[in-house]
A and B are shown apart, each in its own frame.
Chain A
Amino acid sequence: MNNQKTIIFAEDTMHIAQLLKFKLEKEGFTLIHFATGEGVTEGVINFKPDLVLLDIMMPVKDGLTVLKEIKSNPSIANIPVVLLTANAHEEYVVKGLQLGAIDYILKPFASAELVLRIKNILKMR
């Protein structure tokens, strides 16, 4: 049986996305990356990941809209969503938590801390 956990993450800053992919794959996760918010909800429905990591500020469709879509679909609503956002947009975090996000990480962030928080969330479930 394959125990590898799958994470869907949406992040429009390509180099940061590559770094996260590198770090998390090294920890044994399978990563599916989206460069915008478009298609993320469909991806979550199709792949049923163990966790979703969402940047709030993204082109085409922002992270909060994606979060709302995920939480309003009963088949995927229980998948934990972690938000990633710039310090300057801290106010969106409250909205995100109200919409059902389980945690948030502010940019600038330490990649080691991000990996640990993701591991802890998955361990608790």
Chain B
Amino acid sequence: MFIHLDIFGFLALTIFSLLTLVYLLVVQVVLLRLLHGYRAKQKQKFIAVWEERVFNYLENNEKPELLIKKIQRRKYRYLLHYLREFLLMLKGDDFDRLSALINQTKIQPFLISRLKSGSPRKINEAAYFLGLAKSGAARNILRKKLRSQNASVFLSSALALARLNDIEVVFEIFRNAYRFKFVSKDSLLVIMSEFSSDICEVLLQNLKKEKNALIQSITITLFRHFKYYPAGEIVLKIAVYSQNKEVTIESIKYFTSIEFLKAANALRALINSPKAEIRAEVLKALAVLGDSSFEQRIWDRMYDSEYEVQYNAVTTLMILIPGSEEKISQFAYGNLKDRAAAIVRMVLSERSIKS
């Protein structure tokens, strides 16, 4: 049977459908808000009861399973979320006692069963807490998850393995990251910086043969993060020959952070780089690594076409060359029509505002 609709009928039907859709959306939003409010209240109630018990547990020698025994399984997640900040911000005995609440109780099999589930949400949450508590028992399952086709599962597993300091998987993390378009340098850096500084030795051996600019750049950033000195010579070779701007800039930042004076000669060449970001970074580095022999080259950069380069030239001269402030002021106020002098005046006034 066909229902014949004229234009008014069609309009009425469209409006009715839209109103129904809006109604359903409103109902859904209200339900979600109610659910969220209920969960927040439950969580608050849980903390009100358990906070002092957890604090007392930290003070005495109570066995972890005795505490966990009193918590219903459905409330494990409340406890885990409550423990999160502590596991991130405490170390020593506090950390050991709190991680034992996960590693030496029924919470660990609970999390591992979630890690083995098919739900990315459950896997990510379980990986997060198992990594935070440094649960070695989850290592093999987490390693398998590095091959997941789901980017969030890959990332959460990689982060957990980094927190477990599983150095054997460092390059597997790099290799697998390439499968996902949106896994950025920053997210890889966050993961890699969770390893201990032992990672640097492995990365240094790899850097000697590594051709990939992204991995070179991440590696050098990590050397800086861990203040790892032994990589100075290798990074210097890379900085001189690399065609990649980020690799060169990261190298210069690394030299500055470890005060690698041998890099000063390389900086002499890089100060005239066609890339402004490199020139600016070189000038910043010279404040730490340079000496008076750089004075003229730095003065030349006052005439640079880029403001940041000029700014760093003024700042570095003031730090590096004693008495240069007066000379810079004379230059700035003695050449009122000169463009470079005008910018130096801006830099000087900006510096006086900042100080």
Contact = CB atoms under 8 A, between A and B. Distances in A.
Interface of A: 13, 15-16, 18-19, 22-23, 26, 107-113
Nearest to A112: B93
B15 interface: no
A21 B85 CA distance: 16
Interface in B82-115: 82, 85-86, 88-95
30 contacts: A13-B85, A13-B89, A15-B51, A16-B89, A18-B51, A18-B55, A19-B86, A22-B52, A22-B55, A23-B55, A26-B59, A107-B89, A108-B88, A108-B89, A108-B90, A108-B91, A108-B95, A109-B89, A109-B90, A109-B91, A110-B90, A110-B91, A110-B92, A110-B93, A111-B58, A111-B90, A111-B94, A112-B92, A112-B93, A113-B92
Nearest to A84: B89
A35 B59 CA distance: 25
Nearest to B82: A15
Interface in B20-73: 51-52, 55, 58-59
Interface residues of B, number: 16
Contact of A110 (B59, B82, B88, B94): B94
A26 B56 CA distance: 11
A82 to B, nearest CB: 16
Contacts of B92: 110, 112-113
A13 B85 CA distance: 8
- Top 9 nearest A-B pairs (CB, nearest first) are A110-B92, A108-B91, A22-B55, A107-B89, A15-B85, A108-B89, A111-B94, A110-B91, A13-B85
Contacts of B52: 22
- Central interface residue in B52, B59, B91, B93, by most chain A CB within 10 Å: B91
Contacts of B91: 108-110
Contacts of B88: 108
B222 to A, nearest CB: 14
A19 B55 CA distance: 7
B89 to A, nearest CB: 5
Interface string B274-312: 000000000000000000000000000000000000000
Nearest to A110: B92
- Central interface residue in B59, B89, B91, by most chain A CB within 10 Å: B89
Contacts of A23: 55
A16 B85 contact: yes
A23 B91 CA distance: 15
Given A22-B55, A110-B91, 16 more contacts: A15-B82, A15-B85, A16-B86, A18-B51, A18-B55, A19-B55, A19-B86, A26-B59, A107-B89, A108-B88, A108-B89, A108-B91, A109-B89, A110-B94, A110-B95, A111-B90
Contacts of A26: 59
Contacts of B93: 110, 112
A61 to B, nearest CB: 19
A77 to B, nearest CB: 21
A45 B133 CA distance: 41
A112 B58 CA distance: 11
A31 to B, nearest CB: 14
A15 B86 contact: yes
Nearest to B85: A15
Interface in B123-166: none
Contacts of B90: 108-111
Contacts of A18: 51, 55
